[in-house]
Amino acid sequence: MHGFADRLAGGIVAVSDAALEREFEARLVESSTLAFRVAYGVLHQREDAEDVAQEAFVKAYRSFSQLRDRDRFRAWLVRMTWRLAIDRQRSDRRRLAREAVTQIVTVGDTSDELIARERAAHLWIAIDGLPDKLRIVVILAGIEGHDTSEVARLLDVPQGTVKSRLFLARQRLKEQLQWTH
């Protein structure tokens, strides 16, 4: 009787594990770029963003079975990645600043590339200067053309809140970014 119970429990666990593994693999494939870009929007470094996104996936994997509403996975992942990226940025701000300078001025760049890099750097500086609530809205709205309803779903806030925050953020960015075309 005991052996049968053990076998039954083992069978249930094995089936559940296999199903969970498959589901997580599917989520990993569909959300890897999203997590990477959220991290990149904060850290502006591919390697750092990949490290943070990977860390977020590991955390998500550990708690995946406890996630009741699997449809909320992307929102869950985005918030986790965001927090990890912000933590990384705050703990390593000086190194990132140094690398940003070396990235902007690279020997051998043509003038167009140099201008583009400089504009991107200015843009990131302006975005980094926004409060976190506005900053995450700008970044999520800039990823893969997310509309305000998708951003609202990812952040679990009303769509009107997203719209007002996006409007405010763009106003502030436009005040800071005045470049020639």
> Per the structure block, which two tokens stand in for 33?
């770029």
For residue 12, state whether it binds another protein (rule: CB under 8 A).
Answer: yes
Q: If you count them, how many residues does the chain have?
A: 181
In the complex, least distance from residue 168 CB atom to another protein, rounded to whole angstroms: 12
Q: Which residue has the tokens 């996936």?
A: 57
CB-count exposure of residue 58 (10 Å: 0-12, 13-18, 19+): exposed
Q: Which stretch binds another protein (CB under 8 A): 3-11, 90-98, 107-115, 157-165?
A: 3-11
Q: Which helix (H) or strand (E) holds 55?
A: helix 46-63
Segment interacting with another protein, rule: CB under 8 A, options 47-55, 67-75, 80-88, 148-156 = 47-55
Compute how many residues bind another protein; rule: CB under 8 A: 49
Q: Does the footprint of another protein cover residue 73 (CB under 8 A)?
A: no
Sign of CA dihedral 140, 141, 143, 146: positive
Helices (H), 92-155: 93-104, 111-128, 132-142, 148-155
| Beta-carbon contacts of residue 158 (< 8 Å; ≥ 6 apart) | 152
Helical packing angle, 132-142 and 73-91, nearest 10°: 120
Closer CB to another protein, 55 or 152, in the complex: 55
Instruction: Please answer whether residues 139 and 104 qualify as being in contact, where contact means their C-beta atoms are separated by less than 8 angstroms.
Output: no
**Mask for 101-130, x = binds another protein (CB under 8 A):** ------------------xx--xx--x---
Q: Which stretch binds another protein (CB under 8 A): 24-32, 68-76, 79-87, 95-103?
A: 24-32
Contact status: 180 vs another protein (CB under 8 A)? yes
74 binding another protein? (CB under 8 A):
no
Binding flag, residue 145, another protein (CB under 8 A): yes
Residues that bind another protein (CB under 8 A): 5, 8-9, 12-13, 16-17, 20, 24, 28-29, 32-33, 36-37, 40-41, 46, 49-50, 53-54, 57-58, 61-66, 119-120, 123-124, 127, 138-139, 141-143, 145, 170, 173-174, 177-181
